[in-house]
Chains A and B, each alone.
Chain A
Amino acid sequence: MAQIEVRELTKIYAVGDQNITAVDSVSLAIDKGEFVSVVGHSGSGKTTLLSIIGGIMKPTSGQVLFEGQDICTFDDDRLSEYRNEKIGFMFQFSSLLPMLTARENVMLPGLFRKTKGAGDPGTATELLNMVGIGDKCDTYPSQLSGGQQRRVAIARALMYDPRVILADEPTGDLDEETENDIMQLFRRLNREKQITFIFITHNRELAGMAQRTLRMTRGNLREA
């Protein structure tokens, strides 16, 4: 059984009088531990597809089965738990909360767990060390560079050992060296922890680092 199975997924946005089909009857299966890249032009529906798989957007029709369960039928509480426990998100922009330090941002998902408190600060510190900014634990996002903020977001995505990491252009705007570092880190985590990675990129070279590349064109998906 595939870890993620997408069946006939469609998402239509109503923009004014017009309906725009962002994702058009997409079907897809991804196994546990796969390292998948999604490429395509801007507006081709990549972010929408990733968002629906991650449970931060509802589809118009279709199913997303995660380990056999259709997340599209989950109520808000269950869907939130799914995002909290199974998925690690990385967005294409800074996604840190400004009034929290780097470590607190990493611990943030723990605040929404059933267990009291925001989780173990020691683990957060270890993760920040692992992404190379262990000296910035108590620094606020406004004092971090773009690359450092991305690294904090990566640490946050990894905080509670997610099964899948969904990354929307995780290295966009970063210099080549940082970009390489981050991709190496992804590869390592994928190998060592069997975390499934699905990442969107415009960079052919980065896409080439994936075991499997998918191409989105006007809402349709095909293997590249």
Chain B
Amino acid sequence: MKTEFTFSSFALRNVKRKPLRTVILIIAIALLVSALVFSLSFVRRVSSSIRLASERLGADILVVPAGSRGFAEDVLLENKAKSFYMDKGIINKLKAIQGIDSLTYQTYLTTMQGKCCDVPETVVVAFNQDTDFIIKPWLTEKFGRKLQKGEALVGNESAFNIRVGLVEVDSVLFGNIFKMVGILDKTGTGLDNALFIDDGNLEDIMRKGKTDLKPGQVSIVFVRVKKGLDPYKIAGEIEDSFVEVDTMARKDIGKSIITTLRDINYIFIFTMSLICFLSGFLTWAIFSAIANERAREVGIMRAVGAKESHIISVFLLEVIIVGSIGSSIGILCGTSLSILLAKTFSIMKNLPLHFSIAERIIIACIGFLIGNAVCIAGALSPIQKIKKMEPLMAIKKE
């Protein structure tokens, strides 16, 4: 026996009265929220990856061969296999610049499966263990010694690719056999997909002739400036002094991508605004029709004692029920889309950062709130109109 009914059950019954209309509204809100969650995930993932990468590099300035800024970003942010070189002599020249605290360098080699190596295409980073401050923080505690010749470390993501989760596995790199002896902690940068060797191995690698690296070349120099000094000023000084190099301050890493991303962001915002407007308009149209249809019922409710606030509550509950169902479906679709489509967008495919559950929940909450807000905004005007009608006028309205 159905005896107890409340505002919520009352609203729920109203929602069920015209299923087709309710479903149309739910689909509209679901599409809105789905697009919103997808675009938020996209923008946030790309921008967070870039920010994280620059924050975690541990250097204030990057020095690269002139014209190679983009290549360096490709390697560091997306692990795109790129090689670029400059004369190693730059290291001594840089030491002469005032304000530099410490520096280290790396040399990047690109593997090609089947030609030189038996690992999938990736970047091999040769680094100097004596001066290094980039890789060291990510060495797991278990690996408490220096890398020896013929030994390599594996980036956190690459570990899966070459199945070294099983620890010591031998791989051929540039004609030399390397023993994979450890896995780096997750850095959240492109380095997670790389392999790491001591730069003492480079001589043997060049001897085999399976790389275009020449003796006395390095790819990148990482510079730390003395505390309190402006990295931009020192970067400018380096560029003025040495025409053969370009510099990037840490905060500028990924700047070109961020600029492109900002444009994409604007397009997203514009598209989302349009979708919000359309969804709001649809909600307004549907609730205007509902308000007209139910004018007499509202009049009757008012006649038996419903206050204006009661009428608002009933209608708002209906809006929130529809908005919540639509938003929840939208969140599911949007999240699934962002996971599935991430594999088809090259910019996202190589991004190291994956969302944590908390971040996904935040994006879902934003989607849920906006979905409901659009619904409420659209329905507000018809609700205001109907609650203001004199009960008798509402009752007489056919």
Contacts and interface: CB of A to CB of B under 8 A. Distances in A.
Nearest to B395: A91
Contacts of B20: none
A84 B395 CA distance: 17
B1 A111 contact: no
Interface string B272-311: 0000000000000000000000000101111111111110
Given A104-B5, A107-B5, A118-B4, A51 B307 contact: no
Contacts of B302: 56, 80, 83
Nearest to A76: B308
A113 interface: yes
Contacts of B304: 83-84, 89, 108-109, 112, 156
A207 B307 CA distance: 34
Contacts of B303: 54, 56, 83, 89, 91, 95
Most buried by B among A83, A98, A101: A83
B390 A99 contact: no
A83 B303 CA distance: 6
B146 interface: no
Contacts of B395: 56, 91, 95
Contact of B3 (A51, A89, A103, A113): A103
Nearest to B308: A76
Given A56-B390, A84-B304, A117-B6, A112 B310 contact: yes
The range of chain A's interface size is 35 or more
B14 interface: yes
A77 interface: yes
A85 B340 CA distance: 59
Contacts of A113: 305
Interface string A70-91: 0000001100110111000101
Contacts of A76: 307-308
A109 B5 contact: no
Given A57-B390, A99-B17, A111-B10, A83 B3 contact: no
B270 interface: no
Given A56-B391, A58-B390, A99-B17, A109 B305 contact: yes
Contacts of A56: 299, 302-303, 390-392, 395
Contacts of B308: 76, 80
Most buried by A among B7, B17, B305, B307: B305
Contacts of A85: 305
A117 B14 CA distance: 18
A91 B299 CA distance: 11
A121 B395 CA distance: 26
A89 B303 CA distance: 7
B387 to A, nearest CB: 9
A115 B3 CA distance: 16
A97 interface: yes
A113 to B, nearest CB: 7
A31 interface: no
B297 A97 contact: yes
B251 interface: no
A56 B5 CA distance: 25
Interface string B200-217: 000000000000000000
A104 B392 CA distance: 22
Given A80-B302, A85-B305, A112-B306, A99 B392 contact: no
A84 B305 contact: yes
A122 to B, nearest CB: 9
Contacts of A58: 390
Interface in A6-42: none
Contacts of A121: 1, 3-4
B397 to A, nearest CB: 13
A138 interface: yes
B13 interface: yes
A189 interface: no
A100 interface: yes
Interface string B6-41: 110010011011000000000000000000000000
Nearest to A96: B300
Contact of A108 (B1, B301, B309, B393): B301
Contact of A80 (B1, B6, B305): B305
A138 B297 contact: no
B136 interface: no
A68 B300 CA distance: 26
Given A100-B10, A109-B305, A137-B1, 15 more contacts: A47-B392, A54-B303, A56-B391, A56-B392, A91-B300, A97-B297, A99-B16, A100-B13, A104-B5, A107-B5, A108-B301, A111-B5, A118-B4, A121-B4, A156-B304
Interface of A: 47, 51, 54, 56-58, 76-77, 80-81, 83-85, 89, 91, 95-101, 103-104, 107-109, 111-113, 117-118, 121, 137-138, 156
Q: What 10 A-B pairs have minimum CB-CB distances, sorted nearest first? A: A84-B305, A121-B3, A56-B391, A80-B307, A109-B304, A112-B305, A57-B392, A99-B13, A112-B306, A51-B392
